Structure 1
Amino acid sequence: MSTLELNYQNVLQRLQLACSQNNRPAQSVRLLAVSKTKPAAMVEAVYALGQRSFGENYLQDGMDKITALSHLTDIEWHFIGPLQSNKTRPVAEHFQWVETVDRDKIARRLSEQRPATLPALNVLVQVNISAEEQKAGVLPAQAHALCTLVSELPNLCLRGLMCIPEATDNEERLRTQLEAMQALYQQLAAEFPAMDTLSMGMSGDLELAIACGSSEIRIGTDIFGARDYPANN
């Protein structure tokens, strides 16, 4: 078994165990393999193991892989990095999901630039649940307004919320933020029926995120190894 396959199987086992410990079916949590900076060959190797959803942070890096792997017709590409307004068109044209929508302008441009021949672009609104000044995302109090806009735009489908909680070793502090995120999600999902995704949790807090209701875990290093840094994005 290759290191890549071993890593992937270990992550799946962690996910399944966390679901079992919280009385949740394993299929209630999607694994998003964060393939940023990694070559297309590694993505295809993980695809061959059964993985279908892949996350990209860097636009050019992601576009290179989308092109190289265009023969994999059921692969699902999620854009999970910060998105500048002058780079929305290729995301709207080539990705199936955008998880980092945090302002009206980005949402409007994605809707305008989504080709009519494609299904609606799946959108997660990014929430700055820890209220850190340097962090992207709307504050919880602003989430409803942005969700309303996304739900009304013709070529977008509001699927849920995403967050990156505070980087802290204080588990109770982290749990408080994840539970607040779950409560916000439940409140909004009651109003927006297409919402079915709460994306929170990475390698270090996978188990806690699942205990707090996450339905998508974003894992990069624990599958692909330490990241490389693309020269130009």
Structure 2
Amino acid sequence: MTEQPSAAAHAKTQADFAANLASVRERIARAELEAGRTPGSVRLLPVTKTVPSDRLRLAIAAGVEWLGENKVQEALQKSEELADLPHLKYSVIGHLQTNKAKYVARFAHEFQALDNLRQAQALQRRLEAEERTLDVFVQVNTSGEESKFGLDPDDTVAFVKQLPAFDRLQVKGLMTLAIFSTDQIAVRRCFQKLSALRDSVREINPDIKELSMGMSGDFELAIAEGATVVRVGQGIFGARALPDSHYWPGFAH
């Protein structure tokens, strides 16, 4: 596999977004083929953090249907600004403080960073109040880096065993952030570890099928190791600028 650039050209028009999306989807399709995967088995989750709503409207017109957001309040604001587009789906992919659970329960379709019982309890309460359910992924720290959130791989099975108590949470899969490295063997090792864990937790809950792993610079490797969701930001929107002041302070990531 040849190394792919992680960032696309900065998209300014609907045509730019359409071209970038086509490029990413072509890469996904090629990776599926090389891995012997079923065509269309990998979902593209565009990562839209720091991208203002006016640019998002162009991306949506070009075919973006999911918005992946790291910060809950930024996602909430966008869900309000884009409320006239009811077909959009929102995935919260960053760490969640329990006092923000009420917002996730209100608008999100998916939460990909579940890694402790306090989060599960807070989401359960808020989802009951909203009369909603929420698809969730359990985040695992497969790289062992202290800077990353997520469960220790050795604690994952025990954690998943406790989740049936939270009937508003529909556990769909596992998520990880691979080590940030040019060493493809080290990156692949993170993905392999998550795939093996998924096989273990499926013995507890057969519905846990998904693997969210891989980003703009490494998603081909993730697909080769079984990813079913890849999270791509810069490959669609271009290199990320500093957050627009229109959004909440402290959202640089």
Aligned counterpart for 1:107 among listed residues 115, 120, 123: 120
In the other structure, the counterpart of 1:221 is 234
- 1:150–1:157 CA contact under 8 A, matched in 2: no
Superposition deviation, residue 150 in structure 1: 2.4
**Match runs of 1:77-92 below 5 Å:** 77-92=90-105
How many angstroms apart in 2 are the aligned matches of 1:122 and 1:44? 25
Amino acid at match of 1:30: R
Aligned counterpart for 2:50 among listed residues 33, 37, 40: 37
Task: Report the secondary structure of 2:79's partner residue.
Answer: helix
Partner deviation per Cα, 1:32-73 (whole Å, 9 max, x = no partner): 000111012222322223332220011221111101112222
Task: Report the secondary structure of 1:2's partner residue.
Answer: helix
How many angstroms apart in 1 are the aligned matches of 2:86 and 2:32? 29
Q: Does 1:176 align with 2:189?
A: yes
Greater RCO structure (CA 8 Å; 6+ sep): 2
How many angstroms apart in 2 are the aligned matches of 1:26 and 1:119? 32
- 2:18–2:63 CA contact under 8 A, matched in 1: no
Partner deviation per Cα, 1:114-139 (whole Å, 9 max, x = no partner): 14554411111100011112210000
How many angstroms apart in 2 are the aligned matches of 1:45 and 1:190? 43
Partner deviation per Cα, 1:142-171 (whole Å, 9 max, x = no partner): 111222222320211111100001111111
Task: Report the secondary structure of 1:27's partner residue.
Answer: coil
Cα-Cα RMSD? 1.6
Distance 1:118 1:7, change over 3 A: farther
TM-score normalized by the length of structure 1: 0.94
In the other structure, the counterpart of 2:83 is 70
Task: Report the secondary structure of 2:144's partner residue.
Answer: coil
How many angstroms apart in 1 are the aligned matches of 2:28 and 2:170? 27
Q: Does 1:54 align with 2:67?
A: yes
The sequence identity of aligned pairs, in percent, is: 33
TM-score normalized by the length of structure 2: 0.87
How many angstroms apart in 1 are the aligned matches of 2:104 and 2:158? 23
How many angstroms apart in 1 are the aligned matches of 2:94 and 2:217? 19
How many angstroms apart in 2 are the aligned matches of 1:20 and 1:72? 33
How many angstroms apart in 1 are the aligned matches of 2:195 and 2:83? 35
